[in-house]
Amino acid sequence: MPPEERFLPRFAAEPPQEELPYGRWEERLRQEFLAAALALDAQEDLGEPGAIAWYPDRTWHGRTYVPGTSRTSSGYELFGYVRFLAALQDGEPSEFYAYVDFTDETAEQNPDWRIDLCEEVIGSWRGQFGASAAMTLVWGRPLVSGGRIATAELADLAVDQCELVQERFTLIAPDDYRHDLLEIKLFDVKGRELARESLYAAEDVEEAEEA
């Protein structure tokens, strides 16, 4: 094979290893998630969190990330993740950390969305000539039916993919590298593209292209 034209990390994270959280494990993650939500410094009345929708786990650099979202009684959406060091053999997970933020931009208010996405930068990767990529955790759910696999693409190159679990997916992929921005795509069982969404609003993309 000829050398790769674009040198960047692809499929850097482990694929999901566990089922979506339930039982005592779900309760532990819920406690961490809600504790981080209570610590939010918000001027708005966010209301009471509802049930947490969990997304497939992904592990990168030895840390496992389990994202979640929760709609509140005031109409906001809490989004974030619980990160931990996975158990070794018969041990217990340790070094728990939770990140949570909120938004009033929901899928119900944006009927043009075809994929509902959340994202957070969790690290960086240094590439050629000092360029850096933002390693980004992306989680979401399709708003169209028939999806099987979600992919993350950078400059039309697939850098991660995840099979849907209960209509949810999680990706870890490099973003904002050499002026290229991530795009999330949804495919059906036959490999046909059903939808695509950028992590950025149109004005953000224009600013990045001009930079």
163 with 19: CB under 8 angstroms?
no
Q: Is position 11 within any domain?
A: no
Domain of residue 43: give its range.
23-210
Helix, strand, coil shares of the chain as percentages rounded to 5?
15, 45, 40
Structure tokens belonging to residue 129: 């000539």
Low-confidence ranges of the chain (pLDDT < 50): 205, 208-209
Q: Is position 154 within any domain?
A: yes
Q: Is position 13 within any domain?
A: no
Q: Is position 9 within any domain?
A: no
Alpha helix ranges (H) inside 68-167: none
Overall domain count for the chain: 1
pLDDT at 211: 52
pLDDT at 207: 52
Closest by CA position to 210, among listed 182, 179, 181: 179
* Strand ordering across the sheet containing 115-126: 115-126, 132-142, 169-175
Q: Is position 197 within any domain?
A: yes
